[in-house]
């Protein structure tokens, strides 16, 4: 299961497709794995609105974003459990940037069968709604994940 980064630009978020990870998915398939590229809620043509936004940079904001992101990955994994051609035993979750943050958040309530989580440059980097300044601020993402379990 592979998931993507975030953009603060709403137009860019709607232009995204799962094909951004096409080469990586093909390499997993060549090695005998099913590769599921997850477009989280509000990205590309996924259902629902963009739910990972909430101003900058409090622990509560990070916890909310972590839960929303992890819930989407849980749902994707659950959808695969009903397929006869897929096993979720030994599943690996991989995420880039905010997708890495989502992947780590998934491990705070690990679904059955999740064997590993790989975080590439994971985290959140939000711009303050008031100033537009990009700053990690008071709400460190790692503190959030420690708080989440």
pLDDT tens for each residue of 62-102: 788 888 889 999 999 999 988 999 988 999 999 988 888 89
Beta bridge partners of 116: 92
| pLDDT score recorded for residue 125 | 60
> Residue ranges of the chain with pLDDT lower than 70?
53-57, 124-149
Cβ neighbours of residue 79 under 8 Å, at least 6 residues apart?
none
* Cβ neighbours of 47 (radius 10 Å): 7
Q: Name the one residue in this structure whose structure tokens are 């299961």.
A: 1
Cβ neighbours of residue 56 under 8 Å, at least 6 residues apart?
126, 127, 128, 129, 135, 137, 139
The C-alpha torsion from 47 through 49 and 140 to 75, rounded to 10°, is: -20
Rounded Cα gap, residues 120 and 56, in angstroms: 22
| pLDDT score recorded for residue 56 | 62
Return mean pLDDT, the chain. Answer: 80
List the 91-96 sheet strands across, edge first.
37-38, 2-3, 91-96, 114-120
Q: Name the one residue in this structure whose structure tokens are 């695969």.
A: 80
Q: What is the pTM of this model?
A: 0.79
């Amino acid at each position: 299961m592979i998931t993507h980064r975030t953009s603060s630009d709403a137009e860019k978020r709607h232009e995204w497709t799962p094909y951004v990870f096409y080469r990586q998915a093909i390499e997993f398939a060549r090695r005998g794995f099913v590769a599921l590229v997850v477009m989280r809620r509000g990205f590309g043509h996924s259902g629902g609105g963009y739910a990972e936004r909430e101003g900058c940079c409090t622990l509560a904001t990070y916890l909310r974003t972590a839960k929303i992101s992890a819930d989407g990955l849980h749902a994707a994994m659950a959808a695969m459990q009903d397929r006869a051609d897929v096993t979720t035993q030994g599943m690996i979750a991989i995420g880039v940037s905010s997708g890495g943050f989502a992947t780590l958040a998934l491990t705070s309530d690990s679904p059955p069968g999740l064997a590993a989580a790989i975080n590439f440059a994971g985290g959140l980097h939000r711009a303050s709604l008031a100033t537009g300044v990009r700053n990690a601020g008071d709400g460190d993402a790692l503190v959030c994940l420690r708080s989440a379990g």
